[in-house]
Structure 1
């Protein structure tokens, strides 16, 4: 997914970026050298947390991809592409596929879901 960096800052000696994307805005941990403000970068998303059905992943009322910050959490609405019994799910977020780890099977097998994440890490794809 392409993002435009709107700010960079250190928090507890960890580089963060605020960004704007075609599906919304948020702040994330940054996994590379500091980007320039205004720079447009193709990134991939990484979640360091495990998701639980009806706790931090649940059915979404929205039917389109979105990303936003709310009460210190990153809220992502994405389309569930595939979930397996081994604890992994693939989600379509805009034009990107993101993978998440689950602590158990999902009740929902398709459609849009909403994730609430404490943090995401962005890595430039260098494409």
Structure 2
């Protein structure tokens, strides 16, 4: 996913960034040294906590990939691309895939979900 950095808070061990992309705007913890404000980066999004329907994830009729930052939560709207036997899944957010761990029952492949989390991790992809 291609993002543009709009804010960098490097007051903590890991920089907290705000960004825009073709799917909206979000906030995340940057994986390395603080990125440059205003620069574009190709990134991978990581969700480091299991997704659980009714807790941090719900099925949605909204079929438009999206990232939103409400200040206290980052919300992703994505389609379930794959479900694996080991309790993992891949979510498609536009042109990006996000590998996630699941807990409990989950909608079927092709269903859309709305995931709300306090934070996501953002890793630069060195292409």
Q: Given the two structures, how large is their TM-score scaled by the length of structure 2?
A: 0.92
Equivalent-residue separation in structure 2 for 1:98 and 1:26 (angstroms): 15
Question: 5+ residue gaps in structure 1?
Answer: none
1:27 match:
27
Equivalent-residue separation in structure 2 for 1:108 and 1:81 (angstroms): 9
Equivalent-residue separation in structure 2 for 1:70 and 1:49 (angstroms): 19
Equivalent-residue separation in structure 2 for 1:107 and 1:80 (angstroms): 8
2:102 match:
102
Are residues 1:112 and 2:112 paired?
A: yes
Q: Secondary structure at the match of 2:15?
A: strand
2:122 match:
122
Instruction: Assess if the C-alpha contact under 8 Å between 1:5 and 1:35 holds in 2.
Output: yes
Equivalent-residue separation in structure 1 for 2:63 and 2:42 (angstroms): 24
Equivalent-residue separation in structure 2 for 1:104 and 1:45 (angstroms): 22
Instruction: Assess if the C-alpha contact under 8 Å between 2:14 and 2:32 holds in 1.
Output: no
Question: 5+ residue gaps in structure 2?
Answer: none
Relative distance call for 1:106 and 1:33 in structure 2 (3 A) is: same
Relative distance call for 1:32 and 1:15 in structure 2 (3 A) is: same
Q: CA deviation at 1:99?
A: 0.7
2:77 match:
77
Structural RMSD (CA): 1.4
Question: Which has more strand, going by share of residues?
Answer: 1
Equivalent-residue separation in structure 1 for 2:70 and 2:57 (angstroms): 15
Equivalent-residue separation in structure 2 for 1:11 and 1:69 (angstroms): 20
Instruction: Assess if the C-alpha contact under 8 Å between 1:75 and 1:116 holds in 2.
Output: yes
Measured against aligned partners, the alpha-carbon deviations of 1:77-110 in whole angstroms (never above 9, x if no partner) come to 0011112342111011110011111112313332
